[in-house]
Amino acid sequence: MSYGITPNDFSAVAKTDSEAIRLAVAAAKETGEDRVVIPRKNLRTGKNVWEIDSAILLPSDIEIVLDNCTLRQADGCFDNVFRTAVTDTEERGRRSARQRNVHLTGRGNAVIDGGVHNGLTEKTSLKNGLPHVSKNNMILFTNLESFSITGITFRDMRWWALQLVFVSEGRLRDLTFDARDNVPNQDGIDLRVGCHNITVENVTGYAGDDLIALSGFSGAERRHGYWVEGMASDISNVRIRNVIGTSVTKAVIALRNNDGILLRDIDIDGVTDLSGNGARKSAPYAVVRIGQKYYGSLRFSKMGETSRISVRNVFAAHGDAVMVNVTLDNAVFENLFLGEEAKSAFTTRSDWKASGASLRNVTVRGVFCDAANRSPLPLVELVRVEEDEYLENVRITEVSAPAERQLLHNEFLSGLTTDL
């Protein structure tokens, strides 16, 4: 490809790779080029890797092209690889400081590598002089409108690969994650409060925790000043397409909201769990989970706050295809497939804290099971854990399974219709 401004242009004056890239970004803005290309070859060191020892701060109206290159978090550093420029400023929580048009574009084999872990985890965060664990995000975008992250492989994440807070009008596409589960909580994509109008598509690989998480909680974002006053805090209008990957022990896609944060208008189509394939044996407890009675700072979600959810074409190799807890309103689940070692297609079974689910206006349509599947669990499992849980206008239809499998277990006295 043709090159514009590159960090190699500053190899003679920069003392570090991070400084060379920052000088290239500054030059791109000064000249109006608004584009930096990071090539495979690093002329400053003569190596095919760029060591990032401090974050590259991205201004508005910038594109960073990773052209067949590898960026690696340097040994012993405590910082992101890329971060929006507003994130650590006093202006970060102001709507007037909102950034626009930030794009990270991978070409060919573009890799961001976590390298050697630095000991910073959720347990050590803010202790003994260490910073907050969010400094281990590879990419941290906050208070941003119009963005894209495409064509990049994220390897050996030190914590979450991508954390996005109060960002909108964006696209995450053609992303691969390669975590070994050698450190805690190696999420792939985390969409947090205030994220809306975002498309996530063509995501592959392995996560050490949730591969994709939509998390609406009010605590951390307020504590760290990432809450943008005057902007909607809900997570909404998110489209997720063509996910082929797995989690070592958690969920492939997790949707959670508490504290009055709304999570709504989420459309998921095409999720295939890869667990058990190849050399790494993994076993996520669910492919798609919705709701969890945990993480809330103020209270857990109420009926209507998790709503208008559509999930289609899900294949579970291990665990459940769909697990729902707490509350769910106005949702459709279609074409849920269970592999040979999977459990239930749809369940409200309790986990962590005692909680089943209350369901209102929910349809489960089309459940299919591998003929060799011998799980003792029913295909659809409606478990009532707490006395105030209920079903209202719930419909289960078109469930197909081997003759010996139990199709439905229901602990509620009303609110359910079936056509099995």
Task: Give the other-Cβ count within 10 Å of 103's Cβ.
Answer: 19
Q: What is the mean pLDDT of residues 308-334?
A: 97
Burial 163-190 (b: 16+ CB within 10 A, else e): bbbbbbbbbbbbbbbbbebebebbbbbb
pLDDT mean over 347-374:
91
CB neighbours of residue 254 within 10 Å: 24
- pLDDT category of residue 345 using cuts at 50, 70 and 90: very high
The Cα 154–Cα 138 span in angstroms is: 8
Residues 337-359 have a mean pLDDT of 91
Segment 341-349 mean pLDDT? 95
Give the pLDDT of residue 163.
98
Residue 96, pLDDT above cutoff 60: yes
Helices and strands (H and E) in the chain: how many: 2, 26
pLDDT at res. 277:
59
Q: How confident is the model at residue 332 (pLDDT cuts 50, 70, 90)?
A: very high
Our measurement of the distance from residue 110's CA atom to the centroid of its chain's CA atoms, rounded to an integer in Å, reads 20
Higher per-residue pLDDT: 297 or 214 = 214
Question: Mean pLDDT throughout 273-289?
Answer: 80
* Mean pLDDT along residues 20-33: 97
pLDDT at 3: 73
Residue 278's pLDDT band (boundaries 50, 70, 90)? low
Hey, which residues does 394 pair with through a beta bridge? 362, 416
pLDDT, tens only, 59-72: 999 999 999 999 99
Query: Are 147 and 105 spatial neighbours (Cβ–Cβ below 8 Å)?
Result: no
Tell me the per-residue pLDDT of 193-246, one tens digit each, with 9 for 90 and over: 999 999 999 999 999 999 999 999 988 888 888 999 999 999 999 999 999 999
Share of residues in the chain with pLDDT > 70 (%)? 98
Q: How far is CA 408 from CA 63, 80, 349, 367, 419, in A?
A: 52, 47, 13, 11, 11
> What is the mean predicted confidence (pLDDT) over 405-415?
94
Q: Which residues contact 9 (CB under 8 A, 6 or more apart)?
A: 23, 24, 27
pLDDT at 282 over 90: no
Which residues does 129 contact at the CB level (< 8 Å), separation at least 6? none
Q: What mean pLDDT comes out for the span 317-334?
A: 96
Q: Is the pLDDT of residue 289 over 70?
A: yes
**CA 155 to CA 144: how far, in whole Å?**
25
Q: pTM for the full model?
A: 0.97
Q: What is the dihedral of CA 157, 160, 165, 171, to 10 degrees?
A: 60
Strands 263-273, 306-324: pairing is parallel
pLDDT tens track for 111-153:
999 999 999 999 999 999 999 999 999 999 999 999 999 999 9
SS3 category, 187: coil
Question: Does 280 have pLDDT greater than 60?
Answer: no
Give phi and psi for 96, each to the nearest 5.
Answer: -65, -20
Q: What is the pLDDT of residue 224?
A: 86
